[in-house]
Amino acid sequence: MLGKCLIILPLLLLGALAEEKDVLELTDDTFESELERHENTLVMFYAPWCGHCKRLKPEYAKAAELLIGSEPPITLAKVDCTEGGKDSCNKFSVSGYPTLKIFERNEFRSDYNGPREAAGIVKYMKSQVGPASRELSTEEAHKAFLETDEVSVIGYFEKDSSPLSEAYHTVSKKLREKVRFGHTSAKEVLDKVSRKNTIVLYRPKILQNKFEDDSLVYKGSDAVSDVNDFVTKNYYGIAGVRTRDNSQDFKNPLIVAYYNVDYVKNTKGTNYWRNRIIKVAKDFPEFSFAIAAKDDFQHELNDFGIDFAKGDKPIILARDAKSRKFVLKDEFSMETFAAFLKDLQAGALEPYLKSEPIPESNTGNVKVAVAKNFDDLVTDNGKDTLIEFYAPWCGHCKKLAPVYDELGEKLADEDVEIVKFDATANDVPAPYDVRGFPTLYWVPKDAKDSPVKYEGGRELEDLIKYIAKHSTDELKGYDRKGKVLKPRADEL
């Protein structure tokens, strides 16, 4: 048994070392000279003990392998900031790990702000080096450019100085981080494809289906905005593949199908469900649609009350234009999906609300709002309202709590409601924007649709002064400056 262990261990170590064989190791002594030898280099400044660095390393190594032979060439390198690369890290003001920077030869060009997984690193770096649109000067180059699993856009121009060509190149520079662009004025290519002075968006074979065209020809004007809209509106197709890196591209109203999306290991299975989504979705053009890997978006499933997604069938979740949430409760089929969309279209569905139970007793001076009673306690209460959005674990919230309770006592007889809301256990309604804790909003009784974020001090006096100044009707116990009013003789 011992002998087997001794044999396996070196093999494991060899495999671990092989993972990073394509990543260039830099030190202070070699930093300048090695970068000068390489046209474009992404450098990772790291510390061996850093957990984020350890998680990034295998993705970084895989990206380096995928970039071998790229044109123009792209090299991935790393610098240990705790040992031989201390001076280099100091020179480039590295203060956290990992820090990634892009170099042209040995000249710093820009910070890296892209994804942290292999495919994303590759795509981002390819978009950052060389021209935004690749020139396809031969038929072979044109054919090779389309041999990809990515959506591609190609401009076909008899003259590369035409107004449409200039608009195209402007858009390619704007969208280079997300879209793969090529262009050609070569007669042999123009004659072969029979397309001149236009732009074509091509879907890769992996995403092609019988419900939408494999390629789309631009038929708009020479305006940059029109070209930009053509690319962005058609890029993802009827149901785009939504990932962590591009999730912000998908806007509401949005319907997402969550299942085991995997175009590396299970293309056929992934497209089996995607095609069924598309077949139904094509009849509802007012909505945006996407598919997403459920394991990558468990946090979104949690937001809809789904702790565990069992089975292989898609889970359908939706947000309307007001960001309200809706869930397909029935098991997925094209029939149940179509019925769900028709009901959503007709406004016949009850929105899903993540909410704590409505408190049985809510007679305190500080009212407790939850998602289910928010309208009653805030929107429709007929009073000016100060509401605190808090998190139970938040230290600043705990510090504010006794002050907030005292504020409720001080204003108990006023036409003002003091309310608190646990934003971790309840959905925060629109239009409130809560990105940290505590967040306070002032809600005038005659302008409930326009809450005002409170940016003042957190002491009792600060809160009273603010409310006294901004209350719709003057307070009974305080003047507009927040000073206590003396009671009249008939009140004594």
Instruction: Give me the active site residues, please.
Output: 50, 53, 394, 397
For CA atoms 98, 103, 109, 112, the dihedral sign is negative
CA 202, CA 234: separation in Å to the nearest integer? 10
Q: What angle do CA 367, 368, 373 make, to 5 degrees?
A: 105
Token digits of residue 272: 């089996």
Measured from the Cβ of residue 381, the count of other Cβ atoms closer than 10 Å reads 17
3-state class (DSSP) for residue 255: strand
For β-strands 439-443 and 384-390, DSSP reports them as antiparallel
Cis previous bond, 438, omega within 30: yes
Place of tokens 């087997």: 4
Strand partners, 134: 182
Strand partners, 133: 181
Phi-psi region of 3 (alpha: psi -120 to 50; beta: other; left: phi over 0): alpha
Token digits of residue 116: 């942290």
CA-to-CA separations, 222 to 121, 197, 272, in angstroms, rounded: 33, 10, 39
